A and B are shown apart, each in its own frame.
Chain A
Amino acid sequence: MPPGGQFLLGTDLLGRDLLTRILYGARTSLVIGVVANGIALLIGTLVGVTAGYFRGWLGSILMRFTDLMMAFPALLLAIALAAIFSPSLWIVALVIALVNWVQVARVLYTETTSLAERDFVQAERAIGAGTGRILGLHILPHLLPTIIVYGTLGISTTVLLEATLSFLGIGVQPPQPSWGNIIFENQTYFQAAPWLVFFPGVAILLLALAFNLVGDALRDVLDPTQRGRG
């Protein structure tokens, strides 16, 4: 049924109300967005800060591994992994996290190396502060703005990736609704019923757009040197 009347956005082939499906799909997208991105941030921070602070062979190994991950076609890797493991919400989140941590690690690595050379960190080390104290009290607080910005921007990347995987039929499995799999289920009929593709598509777009705009605004607020640049 087309949009209008009793069903605001129309119904799908099985007669399910599209608006309800989209509202429930939001839960899936947001859960994956937050969980996957959280894991990615955690891995990225751990790798980036460890490599940046300790340098040496450990840092080299970690960063070479990061370079290696950069050379992977990310989406292809995610698709292969998601298709091979039986897809469930948590597997999808984990796959996305495994693909997305790389950029965070690289940025934090660069920032940590320059922070570790700064005078206040050197001074702290000179008066005998332990590694934990330096990292926790002096390095991490300075990295926080970057982590927050990448955390926000990362949610939109994650949501897009989840939608893409679900659209290919290897993300979150029906009947659990996700915006990507609503489109996946209905794409065969989309010439006759384009609204079934259009509305979930707009939902994905709006969510990704929202997090991109917030992330960009946060970058302006948290990093004054970037203000006014694209």
Chain B
Amino acid sequence: MAGYLLRRLVQSVLILLGVTLVTFFLLYVLPADPVRQIAGRSATAETVESIRRQLGLDQPFWVQYGRYLWNLLHLDLGRSYLQRSEVAELIRARLPPTLLLMAGAILCELVLGLTMGIVAALRPGTATDNGLMIASFVGVSAPQFVVGLLLLYLFGVRLHWLPISGYGTFAHLVLPSLTLGILGAGWYSRMMRSSMVEVLRQDFIRTARAKGLTRRRVILRHALPNAILPIVAMIGIDIGVFMGGIVVVESVFGWPGIGQLAWQAIQRVDIPIIMGVTIVSAVAIVLGNLLADLVAPFIDPRIRLR
């Protein structure tokens, strides 16, 4: 266990190192020149040169990258080119709204997805089952920005039940979480259905039924706990999926999180912020995957860590 954990941690660090290298390289070779963005259109060639020197952008690639890594070791993500503040500080300020949004989305996914999956699995082959599975396919196939805009229109503009955009109260959280969660709900309901169908076929369920337990008791006490666990372990992997979705959802709903920060930075070629957000996302994804792998053997002892 300790050996496995150590190896996985070393692996994770190497992967993250690779992510920084690839991102840094991509942003280094990109055709858009950040210095021009900072200096503005009317700047003279001298101003442009002096800014470039000031930011150390006239140095060769490896020097720049080395310096970046060295700062990163000290948890320093550098300064934003345009906002004149620390990137780490900017990200930290935007983190709570994004985490809140993700928590809301995970809740939506689980409640919607698991309910649909369980109901479908208990009536396999019926119209209910087919209807629910088609609904889950629709959830998986729907583009998030369309879902967002439609929910916005229906509940915000037409019914006036919920606020259109903004941040602060619980009411603000509902639509963005739902939008972000619908995709996952589609996947979860399909996985939950197949997991439940699989469990219901097992011998111990037949035994439980043969003992004369009620259907409710067999399902709630014997089938459900076994079927649900492998799916809960998947939550870690969701984090990677969310990291993309938040850019869209936060821009549709004006949610002041990391996605919006990243999107603004990309439009302005504010490289330190793009780097910072990519690294933070990669850390989240790697940790999420690690967590999913570590939890798996506790849930299903047949899985051994190798």
Contacts and interface: CB of A to CB of B under 8 A. Distances in A.
A80 B266 contact: yes
Contacts of B153: 190-191, 194, 197
A208 B143 CA distance: 9
Contact of B143 (A67, A163, A229, A230): A163
A72 B143 contact: no
Contacts of A187: 149
A167 B145 contact: yes
Interface string A70-88: 1111111101110111100
A201 B31 CA distance: 33
B143 A205 contact: yes
Contacts of A120: none
Interface in A196-230: 197-198, 201, 204-205, 208-209, 212-213, 216, 228-230
Interface string A114-132: 0000000000000000000
Nearest to A81: B26
B206 to A, nearest CB: 18
A84 B266 CA distance: 8
Interface residues of A, number: 44
Given A76-B281, A84-B31, A168-B248, A212 B140 contact: yes
A72 B26 CA distance: 13
A71 B190 CA distance: 25
Contact of B149 (A76, A197, A208): A197
Interface stretch (B50-58, B74-82, B97-105, B239-247): B239-247
Contact of B146 (A67, A81, A201): A201
A68 B247 contact: no
B137 A213 contact: yes
A35 B31 CA distance: 24
Given A74-B244, A164-B145, 18 more contacts: A64-B15, A76-B244, A79-B262, A80-B266, A83-B266, A83-B267, A84-B32, A85-B31, A164-B144, A183-B149, A187-B149, A190-B149, A197-B150, A201-B146, A208-B141, A208-B142, A212-B140, A216-B137
